């Protein structure tokens, strides 16, 4: 070529002098050929240039590099991100190709792209000093329409998923496959003529945004709520796929009953399924809290509280950073995770739809709502306590129980609004290992109680029935100069006085001398006989309560022995001390059993308004046209479940018949209702109405999913008996589904 400039080397800095350029090895026998004039053509038949011509134009190359960088900056200011990125990569690779010791091959020189600008230097394609070739994937051609742009981006993500799968990165492959599904749904909606929000679709690297999808400066409330709807979806694809992978690794597929894991056995020991690691429990807790905040935002939006919905969505969005940190293996302080605000309206029964309801049913609805509200508040209080301790497993359990109470309340509100009878409740005994604390006290409060004196020493000349006493105390905290002192009221005419006095003292937990004071001095008490007109006050005995036990407990209760100097007097003084929570890191736990209200799984379908509607004729009546299922009536429950309830109710009634006693009216009424429901459902199924059979089959499918989820949730929470019952009912529904399909 006639106008091939020689290659030069560039250093790191554009203005600093570069290192010496590489010297071409010359043949020892042939002298170097003189340079050809610019106007003479190259007589060589090989059009490829010399891979290493004589370097002589370093300043010119630096100028070209500066122009390339200027073009990248100009494209960035215009908003053309793809062009700016391409120029920047070209400039970076250009400097690398011109580094010392780099000898470009003829193939590299031939494949080098032409410069993106038209300068006046007379460069030609194929010269060795032109821009090098980079391993970045080539961008597709400009799309003709939106559909083609979506297809191009979908293919890029599909290729990335295949590459990640080949490299063994299953998580990244699943992530790209989910994005491919989003693009497929967007393409289908766009082809059907529906409006598609293209700004919600991820954009692969190097692709410019689709025309007309510029993001607004601040997201709208509708977009944020749509994002919340996606967060609160009932199925988490990633969790399901991870569970499938774990099951595939552990063993082959088995039946549901054999594969169902109960995490705790009867004695409290763990079964082979084990307990998830703390990192996984932490991640599940964060994802649950994010969904709860998103659901609370949706409820706020339904109440037209847009500001509250925005605030809750911002909190849900802020948890995503914590979720990313937890997935990366970093510890997260769950006590700092924002809580879900409690909405009192959720646990209130709304007005009915004009359907008359008996007073007894209204009373039952109110009782159930009050019990669910109390349980929900208890779960939230326990959850906060365990979050402060960092006990992620118990925190997650309490959060799940609170969510269960909220779902039961939604069922109760729905049944009440349409005038249905109250759902059938079931009570269980739930045991919680709760933190013993006194939430009514602040962290700087110490409550002192002086209950009674027992067998106080009586001075000479005074009858026990004439003894008038009171108690003084002294607490040298925060210092001796600021000691806290007080006394009880006088109790007259007894040597076993009942003082029942309480005092609220100040306790500075951060004080440097607090630990020494608690272990050495504590609180000093002095029992004193009240003086009279001619008789001064007289000390009957003193005692000292050491408070080192508050390191691991929040309450101390002791009977102190009264001393006169070092001599025992025989009397005792009963006192106690309380603080909000222990001073040390160790927390005091105590088992607490609660009577827990549980509505049957699928109670919204099992307890229907069927007794108040028209019942079809029995089997022996004259056949008539099939009666379609009214849309206003809820669907029937499962026939097998009704038979199971009837059998269980008859077992309850059997002892009354054996003992010759009458059956209680409520049991007899429930039995009659069940018989009427069973008869009516059998009549409808044998009527041959295809519309009813189709809706009944769909209803059974919903029942099947509901009991499956309930059994899994109860097993995770350690409720073995409830999980077994839900699993048994699930099998009953499954057998009925197989019968209908067969």
Strand ranges across the sheet with 538-545:
484-487, 469-475, 523-529, 538-545, 555-564, 567-579, 445-454, 498-506
| Global pTM value | 0.39
**pLDDT tens readout for residues 696-734:** 887 788 778 878 877 777 777 667 777 788 888 888 888
pLDDT band, residue 223 (cuts 50/70/90): low
pLDDT, greater one: 652 or 249: 652
pLDDT, greater one: 586 or 506: 506
In percent, how much of the chain has pLDDT > 70?
Answer: 68
Arithmetic mean of pLDDT, 130-143:
53
Who contacts 449 (Cβ-Cβ below 8 Å, separation ≥6)? Answer: 500, 501, 502, 503, 575, 576, 577, 578
**pLDDT tens readout for residues 67-84:** 777 888 888 777 787 788
pLDDT band, residue 500 (cuts 50/70/90): very high
C-beta atoms surrounding 313 within 10 Å: 25
Has residue 332 got a pLDDT over 50?
yes
User: What are all long-range contacts of 238-246, with beta carbons under 8 Å and residues at least 24 apart?
Assistant: 238/174, 238/178, 241/174, 245/170
pLDDT band, residue 59 (cuts 50/70/90): low
Quick one: which of 667, 692, 698 has its CA closest to 680? 692
- CA pair distance 679, 676, nearest whole angstrom: 5
Has residue 262 got a pLDDT over 60?
no
pLDDT band, residue 426 (cuts 50/70/90): confident
Distance set, CA 190 to CA 176, 200, 203, 240, 658 (Å): 21, 14, 17, 29, 71
Structure tokens at 126: 């194929």
Structure tokens at 405: 């109470």
What residues does 445 pair with on adjacent strands?
506
pLDDT band, residue 624 (cuts 50/70/90): very low
Task: Report CA torsion sign: 455, 461, 462, 464.
Answer: positive
pLDDT band, residue 266 (cuts 50/70/90): very low
The predicted structure's pLDDT at residue 715: 76
Who contacts 193 (Cβ-Cβ below 8 Å, separation ≥6)? Answer: none
Contact 503, 486 (CB under 8 A): yes
127 in helix, strand or coil? coil
Distance set, CA 364 to CA 220, 420, 511 (Å): 43, 12, 53
The predicted structure's pLDDT at residue 116: 45
pLDDT band, residue 198 (cuts 50/70/90): confident
pLDDT band, residue 54 (cuts 50/70/90): very low
Angle at 182 between CA 176 and CA 185, to 5 degrees: 145
505, containing H or E segment: strand 498-506
Has residue 642 got a pLDDT over 80?
yes
The predicted structure's pLDDT at residue 490: 94
Who contacts 238 (Cβ-Cβ below 8 Å, separation ≥6)? Answer: 174, 178
**pLDDT tens readout for residues 434-468:** 777 787 888 889 999 999 999 999 988 888 888 99
264 in helix, strand or coil? strand
Selection from 144-158, 223-237, 646-660, 702-716 with the highest mean pLDDT: 144-158
Range in 152-156, 504-508, 530-534 with the lowest mean pLDDT: 530-534
**Per-residue DSSP letters for 370-381?**
HHHHHHHHHHHH
In b/e form, how buried is each residue of 686-725, taking b as 16+ CB within 10 angstroms?
Answer: eeebeebeebbeebbeebbebbbebbebbbbbbbeebbeb
The predicted structure's pLDDT at residue 153: 87
**pLDDT tens readout for residues 592-620:** 888 888 876 443 333 333 333 333 333 33
pLDDT band, residue 587 (cuts 50/70/90): low
The predicted structure's pLDDT at residue 489: 94
Distance set, CA 443 to CA 391, 437, 446, 563 (Å): 20, 11, 8, 33
User: What are all long-range contacts of 150-159, with beta carbons under 8 Å and residues at least 24 apart?
Assistant: 150/183, 150/186, 150/187, 150/190, 150/198, 150/201, 150/210, 151/183, 151/187, 152/207, 153/183, 153/201, 153/203, 153/204, 153/207, 154/180, 154/183, 154/184, 154/187, 156/204, 156/207, 157/183, 157/202, 157/204
Instruction: Count Cα atoms within 13 angstroms, Cβ side, for 365.
Output: 25
Contact 125, 114 (CB under 8 A): yes
What residues does 437 pair with on adjacent strands?
none
Has residue 625 got a pLDDT over 50?
no
Contact 338, 396 (CB under 8 A): no
- CA pair distance 260, 713, nearest whole angstrom: 11
The predicted structure's pLDDT at residue 487: 94
Structure tokens at 557: 């209760």
**pLDDT tens readout for residues 542-581:** 999 999 888 888 899 999 999 998 899 999 999 999 998 8
Taking phi over 0 as left and psi of -120 to 50 as alpha, with beta for the rest, 596 belongs to: beta
**pLDDT tens readout for residues 345-386:** 677 776 665 556 788 888 888 888 888 988 988 888 888 877
Burial class from Cβ neighbours inside 10 Å (0-12, 13-18, 19+) for residue 350 reads: exposed
pLDDT band, residue 742 (cuts 50/70/90): low
The position carrying tokens 């700004």 is: 199
CATH for the 445-587 domain, from 3.40.50.1860, 3.40.50.150, 2.60.40.150, 3.40.50.620: 2.60.40.150
**pLDDT tens readout for residues 305-327:** 888 888 888 888 888 888 888 88
**Per-residue DSSP letters for 282-321?**
HHHHHHHHHHHHHHHHHHHHHTT-HHHHHHHHHHHHHHHH
Domain-by-domain residue ranges, the chain? 1-136, 445-587, 600-618+630-741
In b/e form, how buried is each residue of 408-417, taking b as 16+ CB within 10 angstroms?
Answer: bbebbbebbe
User: Could you tell me whether strands 498-506 and 523-529 are parallel, antiparallel, or unpaired per DSSP bridges?
Assistant: unpaired
Q: Rounded to the nearest 5°, which phi and psi values hold at 540?
A: -95, -25
- CA pair distance 269, 386, nearest whole angstrom: 21
The predicted structure's pLDDT at residue 24: 43
The predicted structure's pLDDT at residue 6: 54
Has residue 119 got a pLDDT over 70?
no
Radius of gyration in angstroms for the set of CA atoms belonging to the chain, rounded to a whole number: 41
Contact 468, 490 (CB under 8 A): yes
pLDDT, greater one: 389 or 445: 445
Contact 211, 150 (CB under 8 A): no
Structure tokens at 443: 């962290």
248 in helix, strand or coil? helix
Structure tokens at 483: 């000691």
Distance set, CA 101 to CA 91, 186, 407, 648 (Å): 18, 51, 71, 89
Range in 163-172, 257-266, 564-573 with the lowest mean pLDDT: 257-266
The predicted structure's pLDDT at residue 541: 93
The predicted structure's pLDDT at residue 588: 65
Q: Across all residues in the chain, what is the average pLDDT?
A: 72
The predicted structure's pLDDT at residue 273: 44
pLDDT, greater one: 611 or 588: 588
**Per-residue DSSP letters for 700-730?**
HHHHHHHHHHHHHHHHHTT-HHHHHHHHHHH
The predicted structure's pLDDT at residue 133: 43
In percent, how much of the chain has pLDDT > 90?
Answer: 11
**pLDDT tens readout for residues 667-703:** 777 788 788 888 878 877 777 777 777 778 877 887 7
Quick one: which of 512, 513, 398, 526 has its CA closest to 450? 526
14, containing H or E segment: none
469, containing H or E segment: strand 469-475
């Amino acid at each position: 070529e006639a106008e091939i400039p020689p290659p030069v080397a560039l250093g790191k800095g554009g203005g600093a002098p570069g290192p010496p350029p590489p010297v071409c090895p010359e043949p020892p026998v042939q002298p170097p050929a003189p340079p050809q004039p610019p106007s003479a053509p190259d007589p060589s038949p090989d059009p490829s240039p010399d891979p290493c011509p004589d370097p002589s134009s370093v300043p010119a190359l630096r100028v070209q590099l500066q122009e390339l960088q200027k073009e990248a900056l100009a494209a960035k200011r215009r908003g053309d991100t793809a062009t700016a990125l391409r120029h920047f990569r070209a400039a970076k690779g250009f400097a690398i190709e011109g580094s010392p010791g780099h000898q470009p091959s003829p193939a590299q020189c031939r494949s080098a792209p032409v410069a993106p600008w038209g300068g006046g230097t007379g460069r030609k394609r194929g010269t060795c000093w032109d821009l090098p070739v980079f391993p970045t994937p080539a961008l597709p051609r400009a799309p003709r329409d939106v559909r083609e742009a979506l297809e191009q981006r979908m293919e890029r993500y599909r290729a990335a998923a295949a590459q990640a799968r080949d490299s063994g990165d299953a998580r990244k492959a699943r992530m790209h496959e989910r994005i491919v599904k989003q693009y497929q749904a967007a393409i289908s909606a766009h082809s059907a003529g529906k409006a598609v929000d293209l700004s919600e679709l991820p954009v692969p690297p190097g692709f410019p945004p689709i025309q007309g999808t510029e993001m607004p400066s601040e997201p709208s409330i509708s977009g944020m709520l749509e994002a919340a709807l996606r967060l609160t979806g009932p199925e988490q694809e990633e969790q399901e796929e991870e569970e499938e992978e774990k099951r595939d690794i552990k063993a082959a597929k088995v039946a549901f009953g054999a594969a169902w894991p109960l995490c705790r056995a009867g004695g409290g020991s763990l079964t082979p399924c084990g307990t998830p690691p703390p990192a996984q429990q932490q991640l599940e807790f964060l994802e649950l809290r994010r969904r709860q905040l998103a659901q609370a935002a949706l409820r706020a939006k339904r109440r037209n509280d847009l500001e509250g919905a925005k605030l809750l969505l911002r909190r849900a969005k802020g948890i995503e950073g914590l979720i990313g940190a937890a997935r990366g293996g970093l510890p997260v302080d769950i006590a700092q995770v924002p809580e879900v605000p409690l909405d009192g309206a959720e646990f209130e029964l709304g007005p009915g739809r004009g359907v008359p309801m008996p007073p007894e049913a209204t009373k039952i609805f109110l009782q159930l709502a009050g019990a669910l509200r109390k349980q929900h508040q208890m779960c939230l209080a326990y959850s906060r306590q365990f979050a402060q301790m960092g006990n992620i497993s118990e925190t997650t359990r309490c959060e799940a129980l609170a969510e269960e109470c909220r779902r039961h309340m939604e069922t109760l509100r729905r049944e009440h609004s349409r005038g249905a009878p109250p759902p059938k409740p079931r009570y269980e005994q739930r045991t919680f290992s709760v933190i013993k604390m006194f939430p009514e006290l602040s962290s700087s409060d110490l409550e002192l109680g002086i209950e009674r004196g027992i067998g106080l020493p009586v001075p000479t000349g005074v009858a026990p029935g004439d003894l008038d006493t009171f108690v003084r105390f002294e607490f040298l905290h925060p210092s001796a100069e600021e000691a806290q002192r007080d006394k009880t009221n006088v109790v007259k005419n007894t040597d076993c006085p009942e003082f029942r006095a309480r005092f609220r003292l100040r306790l500075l937990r951060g004080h440097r001398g607090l630990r020494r004071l608690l272990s050495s001095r504590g609180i000093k008490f002095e029992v004193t006989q009240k003086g009279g007109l001619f008789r001064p006050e007289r000390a009957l005995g003193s005692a000292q309560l050491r408070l080192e036990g508050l390191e691991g407990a929040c309450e101390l209760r002791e009977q102190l022995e009264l001393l006169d100097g070092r001599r025992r007097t025989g009397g005792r003084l009963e006192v106690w001390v309380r603080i909000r929570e222990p001073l040390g890191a160790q927390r005091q736990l105590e088992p607490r059993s609660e009577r827990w209200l549980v509505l049957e799984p699928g109670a919204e379908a099992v307890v229907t308004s069927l007794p108040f509607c028209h019942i079809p004729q029995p089997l022996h009546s004259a056949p008539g046209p099939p009666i379609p299922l009214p849309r206003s009536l809820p669907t029937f429950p499962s026939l097998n479940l009704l038979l199971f309830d009837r059998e269980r109710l008859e077992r309850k009634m059997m002892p009354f018949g054996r003992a010759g006693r009458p059956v209680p009216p409520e049991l007899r009424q429930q039995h009659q209702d069940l018989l009427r429901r069973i008869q009516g459902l059998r009549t409808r199924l044998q009527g041959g109405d295809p519309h009813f059979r189709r809706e009944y089959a769909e209803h059974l499918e919903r029942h099947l999913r509901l009991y499956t989820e309930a059994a899994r949730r109860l097993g995770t929470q350690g409720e073995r008996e409830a999980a077994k019952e839900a699993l048994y009912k699930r099998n009953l529904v499954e057998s009925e589904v197989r019968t209908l399909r067969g």
